[in-house]
Structure 1
Amino acid sequence: MANDILELFQSFRTILCLCPYCNQIQRLSDINPRYGGRIKKTWLDIYESRVKALEKKVEAFEEKAEELRQSATEKGRKQVPDILRRSMSIEFMNLSYNPYDIKALMHPVDFIIFDGLHSAENVKEIIFLSKKISNNGLNKIRESIRDAIRNGSYNWQVARVDLEGKITYHQK
């Protein structure tokens, strides 16, 4: 039966027709007949129209999702300064540093400020910022940090972690 159908379609190549609109001779297998009346939809027509409708909805959703993502990102970025200021002590709220330059450490120093990091991409100064407290132990640690910086007792090291978890240090 499959061979019969295949032979039928092959025979369509040998049948020639004259197009009533353009007066061109064409093979029956190449023509695209048109019907002026209403054609009854098949299950395939319905399926294809539903697929197209779904594709349009997916495309519209993806566009909307991208807009929502961008809007949420912008909204979040605008909120960062206020969130950071609210998380800081009242004494620190009125500082003139870019909020994106302030990083929370919380212990032993409350914050570290990389002044100029986000505005000029060139750090002008690094500031350790902590609220004065009455904890003698923590105050001694902070004083030792201050003394180490004043005495130049620090260095810069780069640590690299490979895929196996091995850490190597590169001194600069």
Structure 2
Amino acid sequence: MAFEEILVYVVIALVIGFALGWFFVKAQITAIEARYRAELERWKVEAAGEIRKDSVNRSRSTLKGKIAEQMAPLLPSFGYLSADARFIGSPVDYIIFDGLSAVADEKGSSIRIVFMDVKHGSATLTRTQRVIKKAVDERAVTWQTLHLADA
């Protein structure tokens, strides 16, 4: 055999070897992709269940908070007459006109105005509520009467 013939066989063998190697690696990659796709789908199903459970828990917590906000004047820890409290819900839960019932019954002559937000669990004031609290603490509160002209 001539050198050229051997070189042709070696080149053919290398090409066949590379082709077989490429097909082998491609098959391995496809198998790995399939395995990880199956794991991803399994994880999605598990995560969806956890996400639903978390969503339900958050919803329950929100509902409990809203119920607590509405029921607060009935609790002994409220500290004010429920008749003096006005629920507004946002940006704070209550404005309490402490002593208003006594004034209405002509048993008192002054009131104190209290802004109150009811929190459930470890909830904290929102940024807006903190700004309102700061305004109240700094006594940045005024009274204004708007007179409307007869039409």
Band of TM-score, shorter chain: 0.3 to 0.5
- Which is richer in helix? 2
RCO higher in structure (CA 8 A, sep ≥6): 2
After TM superposition, the score normalised by the length of structure 1 is 0.38
After TM superposition, the score normalised by the length of structure 2 is 0.42
